[in-house]
Structure 1
Amino acid sequence: MLRPPAVTELMETAERVAPDADAFAVARTLDDPDVESVVVVEDGELVGIVAQSDAVALLVDDRDPDALVAADVMSSPVHTVDANESIVAAAERLRTHGIGSLPVLDDGELVGIITASLLSQHIPHVRRPARDVDAAEDVVRQTDRADTAYEKADWEFEYVGHQGHIDVGDVVRFSKSLDETEVEEFADASGDTNRLHLDDEYARGTRFGRRIVHGTLVAGVVSAALARLPGLIVYLSQQVSYLGPVDVGERVTAECEVVEKLGDDRYRLTTTVTDSDDETVIDGEAVVIADPVPETA
């Protein structure tokens, strides 16, 4: 597998202050658009973090603002990420905890900071968790559809969401194998005849050591999943991060989750593809329009 970069490859220098630093001085530091958080360090140990949202509290605090120090407005304990962890692990931690920054530690020592805005340039899915769809009264679970043109025995899908329409929290999964015939047909249809995908001898000399499936063909299962959401789904955009190769003949699963309603029947979804070992090989997000299904004669 290709491995995503370690956080040390993307991290930035952390702005540091002492716990007794003037809180308004910290707020002025956070006024810099390039500074999303300031870490609070005492005797070389990380004790807190002040984010831009914490600085806003200075405006509404009932205490004497001149007496406030960093320790009064910092968040503690601090969620961190180890220097040898990947940017994918960092992104998941940010998303799980709903925070914007993670100090990076190497053997317990602060060596930098990684932020959601920085990670979003490399992993588009750094977003808040979606609402739990099971709380909705009209939730359904579907594993077959009558309105698709055809289904094959090898294909599997599951939709957990709202009856007749999509909404935040809905999840759809689609799974299929990407076999030799499909790889060859995709090469012919797309014109991508890179020998990495078609020539065993050539592929053995590459970094992968064997033939792999076209990345765009793997990403195509995301489109297949989206097509099984309620309504007529129209793609508007797709952001993709390729995290690892897929072997010819391997089974992959796309999972799409509706995370935001944008208005005008537009929705934003996180989109991932995993391989047969449940390793994430594609990560990203999409924006779609969900129109009513047209009536047929």
Structure 2
Amino acid sequence: MIRLAANLSMMFQEHDFLDRFAAAAEAGFRGVEYLFPYAYDASDIRQRLECHGLSQVLFNLPPGDWEAGERGLASLPGREAEFRDGLEQALEYAAALDCPRLHAMAGVLPDGADEAVRQTHLQTYLGNLRHAAKVCEQAGRTLLIEPINGRDMPGYFLQTQEMARQIVDEMASSHLKIQFDVYHCQIVQGDLIRHLETQFSRIGHVQIAGVPKRHEPDQGEVHYPAVLERLEALGYDGWVGCEYRPAGETLAGLGWARAYGLEPGTPASDHSR
């Protein structure tokens, strides 16, 4: 059964962040994700989760200086200590929020990066992921890496599914998985169901959005009923994160989700992770 999680960084922006938990629960969601929790006390977020019967399913490690354009630290040479500090902070929040998954953003290459620079970033990335996967295993968490398209995030280091698969295979850790974002995969490569099938055993989380405008999944060029039907047939039992920007008011655009059991006002019954 497909289980939908609301992305509170993008959805329910009609409300302040801490009020989005109530809005998501009232809309029928039982799981939530978002980019970063670090501007808020973990205890305040935990209170919202418990009050509204929500599971925290995912958030990202600290990304560096987001306002300056940084999009993660994992591949940035010379920032290893900062990456490790961010990992520890994320694990503290994960423990407080009972969140099983953390996404480590790879970071952006410098303009004009040549092959030597790319190799330096790759070795830094592999070293940081090897350390983080081991620490996450000790903490009982799963680390995720996500290919992100270079149109939305120019210069992002990890863009292809093949590269993500190679890295996960090289690490050979059950605590390092792929975050399969259908929106990003469609923009970069397409062939969605084939990629889904090829790397299914490596997938730790799935996200969806309409392409190309990143609105509701029933808008745009991707036929999500076929993609989600195949995902379910493969035996996926995790969450599907709704990481899209509503075209209008969030609730007005949720009609598509009723096919997957989302009903406003339904009581919380499934708090599985």
Give TM-score scaled by structure 2 length. Answer: 0.27
Bigger strand fraction: 1
Higher CA-based Rg: 1
Q: Which has the higher contact order (CA 8 A, sep 6+)?
A: 2
Bigger helix fraction: 2
Give TM-score scaled by structure 1 length. Answer: 0.25
